[in-house]
């Protein structure tokens, strides 16, 4: 499976393609940081991010797009810009019919370091090690995009198993209810009408 | 001037086209609310909003797109969805080379009611009156999108005058500095070198 991981942002947007191999092996296909000028207007910055993502989707043909989910940040203005950038990334994927998965920063950190509270340096160290890179990806946004890709590859099978278990449970519940309803109907048929 | 006003949202996205006439007259061309199912995944909801906006841009050919700027809300999750919807709206406008303006809720309220703290009922009442509508636009998101259009039409000339005044001030400052520099050079030329 090939994942396009995006750490959305307007000033710096981390973007990476990671391939999953057998077991837990992962491979870095490409990584970069898209930058847009802070003094440009918001709409043209979003357009630059959207164009870059579409170019990567076209060039690398991923199977899925993983985006970092932003809940809140110290700076509300920055958080809104980040959310908007994430929105145009998800839109680009949806336009191509690709599934989009959102992972929280703590899920990403936990996936690559084992701790949801790991710092940026730990994430960068583990990403470098897991992907067998010669040097640490810089800036942190690039490492985050790679971590997101790895997180998705490792979480996806777990998610699929979970979804399968939920579907099975729902099917059992449905059958149980159907049997109950059938028993109720039979009982009513046998009973006396007042 | 024709404005497409959008009150972004995923569950309900208000969308309206307002024409500005001579003086302060305004006319409602179209208004609607785009809804996306809350149980659908985020990417497909954003796609539905983007498709609707693109359809409106194509059908109504506005000169500018005005979007409500979201800073924060009680519910951070909702605020993020709103920001993402606003992002895809801005992107659709930018793709067509249309200017995008963001107005805060208090700017919109102040424009149509005179008070930045007006409630939803006041905004709806004033929008109905200003546009000479037979009945109040429902739900509130539809009224908000119309209010946004009116706000933009009325604020745009003020903004343009402000930008002009700022440009004039910058030019005067530049000339003044140039004269000072010239005077400095002349004084240096006349002075004695130690």
Question: Has residue B187 been placed in a domain?
Answer: no
Asked if the structure places residue A25 within a domain, the reply is: yes
How many residues belong to chain A?
Answer: 194
Candidates B76, B87, B92: best to mutate against A (most CBs of A within 10 A) is B87
In angstroms, rounded to a whole number, what is the distance separating the alpha carbons of residues A153 and A111?
10
Q: Does the distance separating the beta carbons of B90 and A85 come in below 8 Å?
A: no
Task: Name every chain B residue with its beta carbon within 8 A of the beta carbon of A76.
Answer: 71-72
**Among chain A residues, CA nearest to B88:** A88
Contact yes or no for A83 and B83 at CB 8 A: yes
Q: Is residue B111 part of a domain?
A: yes
- Establish if B92 belongs to a structural domain: yes
Helices (H) and strands (E) in chain A, counts: 5, 5
CA distances (Å), B86 to each of B75, B83, B142, in order?
16, 5, 15
DSSP string, A13-56: EEEEEEEE-STT-EEEEEEEEEE--TTS-HHHHHHHHHHHHHHH
Mean pLDDT for B88-105 is: 95
Nearest CA in chain B to A69: B80
Q: pLDDT tens across B107-129, in order?
A: 999 999 988 899 999 999 999 99
Nearest-by-CA chain A residue for B97: A44
A188 domain-assigned: no
Binding site as annotated, residues of A for Mg(2+): 7, 68, 141
In whole angstroms, give the CA distance from residue B18 to residue A2. Answer: 46
What pLDDT was estimated at residue B37? 95
ipTM above threshold 0.90: no
Tens-place pLDDT, residues A136-173: 999 999 999 999 999 999 887 776 777 777 888 888 88
Higher model confidence: residue A7 or residue B80?
A7
Determine, yes or no, domain membership for B176. no
Rounded to whole angstroms, the Cα distance separating A187 from A179 reads 12
Provide the domain count of chain A. 1
CATH of the domain at B121: 3.30.420.10
Report CB contact under 8 Å: B77, A88.
no
Element (H, E) at B34: strand B26-35
Instruction: Note the pLDDT tens digit of each residue in B154-171.
Output: 887 776 777 777 888 888
Q: Is A102 on the interface with B (CB under 8 A)?
A: yes
Residue A28, preceding bond cis, omega within 30 degrees? no
B102 and A42 within 8 Å at the Cβ level: the answer is yes
Q: Residue A88: list chain B partners with CB under 8 A.
A: 87-88, 91
Residue B44 structure tokens: 């497909």
Cβ-nearest to A90 among B46, B77, B99: B46
Beta carbons of B46 and A94 less than 8 Å apart = yes
Residue B53 clears pLDDT 80, i.e. is over it: yes
Residue A75 banded pLDDT, cuts 50, 70, 90: low
Query: Does A88 sit within 8 Å of B88, measured CB to CB?
Result: yes
pLDDT of residue A74: 58
Residue A128 three-state SS: helix
Nearest-CB residue to B70 (from A41, A80, A90): A80
What per-residue confidence (pLDDT) applies to B172? 85
Give domain status of residue A130, yes or no. Answer: yes
Using one digit for the tens of pLDDT, what is the confidence trace for A122-141? 999 999 999 999 999 999 99
Q: Which domain holds residue B99?
A: 2-163
Instruction: Answer whether residue B108 is part of any domain.
Output: yes
**Residue A7 annotated as catalytic:** yes
Q: Is the pLDDT of residue A191 over 70?
A: no
Q: Are A108 and A147 in contact (CB under 8 A)?
A: yes
Out of A73-77, A82-86, B100-104, which region has the weakest mean confidence (pLDDT)?
A73-77
The structure tokens 């090939």 sit at A2
Search chain A and give the residue with CA nearest B87. Answer: A84
In B4-102, where does DSSP find H-type helix? 42-60, 76-95
- The residue whose two tokens read 């790991």 is A118
Judge whether B68 is annotated as a binding position.
yes
B77 near A CB under 8 A: yes
d(C-alpha A129, C-alpha B87), whole Å:
36
More confident residue, A99 or B158: A99
The phi, psi pair for B106, rounded to 5°, reads -70, -30
Question: pLDDT-based confidence at B91, cuts 50/70/90?
Answer: very high
Q: Is the pLDDT of residue B191 over 70?
A: no
């Amino acid at each position: 499976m090939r994942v396009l991981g995006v750490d959305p942002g307007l000033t710096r947007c981390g973007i990476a393609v990671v391939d999953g191999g057998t077991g837990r092996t992962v491979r870095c296909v490409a990584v970069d940081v898209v930058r847009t000028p802070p003094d440009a207007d918001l709409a043209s910055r979003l357009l630059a991010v959207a164009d870059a993502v579409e170019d990567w989707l076209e060039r690398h043909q991923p199977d899925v797009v993983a985006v970092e989910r932003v809940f809140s940040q110290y700076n509300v203005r920055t958080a809104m810009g980040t959310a908007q950038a994430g929105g145009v990334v998800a839109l680009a994927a949806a336009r191509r019919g690709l599934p989009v998965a959102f992972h929280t920063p703590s899920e990403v950190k936990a996936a690559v370091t084992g701790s949801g509270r790991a710092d940026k340096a730990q994430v960068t160290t583990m990403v470098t090690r897991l992907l067998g890179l010669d040097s640490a990806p810089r800036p942190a946004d690039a490492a985050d995009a790679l971590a997101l890709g790895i997180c998705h590859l490792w979480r996806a099978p777990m998610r699929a198993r979970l979804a399968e278990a939920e579907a099975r449970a729902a099917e059992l519940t449905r059958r149980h209810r159907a049997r109950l309803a059938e028993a109720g109907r039979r009982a009513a048929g046998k009973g006396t009408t007042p």
